[in-house]
Structure 1
Amino acid sequence: MECTRCGACCVAPDIAALDKPLGMRCPHLSEENLCTVYDRRPSVCRSYQADEVCRLIEAPTLDERVQKYLELFELGAEAATLRQKGCTSMRQARGAL
């Protein structure tokens, strides 16, 4: 499957290499949903391949795609808790849960 550059993989999952918690927008994701550090992105981002999940979460907006991703993996409540507690890093998130 070809990447659609929808941005969901840069928002929905946590990314330890970037200290980015679950459900939070990567600080390197541009408004156009493109990586601003693409040439220097961590290996976890380099190795990610578009797959069936991308098809399952298709939606008109990034927020809708992220919500569908979180629901698919039953992470919606956890992400909501992290947002409510204002967690901006995985270190904060670990302490909040």
Structure 2
Amino acid sequence: MECTCCGACCVAPDIAALDKPLGLRCPHLGADNLCTVYDRRPQVCRDYAADEVCRRIEAPTLEERVHNYLALFQLTAEAQAVRESGCASMRMARAIRERK
């Protein structure tokens, strides 16, 4: 499958190499939904390839694609908790989760 450059893979999943929490936009994702650090992106981003998940979450907007991704993996509630807690990093999100 060819990448559509929708940006969902830079928003929906957590990305440990970038300390990016689940469901939050990567700080390196530009307004055009392209990576602003593409030439020096971490290996996990380099290794990612469009696959069946991309087809399954397809939708007209990035917001809808992210919603579909989180629902597909049953992560909607966890992502909502991250957003509500205001966590800007995975480390912060894990610390809050561990206190509960």
TM-score over 0.5 for the alignment?
yes
Distance 2:59 2:31 in 1: 17
Distance 1:85 1:18 in 2: 19
By how many angstroms is 1:96 displaced? 1.8
In the alignment, structure 1 segments of 5+ residues that lack a partner are none
Residues 31-63 of structure 1: per-residue CA shift (max 9 Å, x gap) = 100000000000000000100000000011111
Partner of 2:2: 2
Partner of 1:46: 46
Partner of 1:63: 63
Give yes or no for the alignment of 1:80 onto 2:80: yes
By how many angstroms is 1:75 displaced? 0.3
By how many angstroms is 1:25 displaced? 0.1
The number of equivalent residue pairs is 97
Partner SS state of residue 45, structure 2: helix
By how many angstroms is 1:77 displaced? 0.2
In the alignment, structure 2 segments of 5+ residues that lack a partner are none
The two structures, once aligned, show a CA RMSD in angstroms of: 0.4
- Structure 1 residue identity aligned to 2:27: P
Seq. identity, %:
74
- Structure 2 residue identity aligned to 1:52: E
Q: Which runs of 4+ in 1 moved over 4 A?
A: none
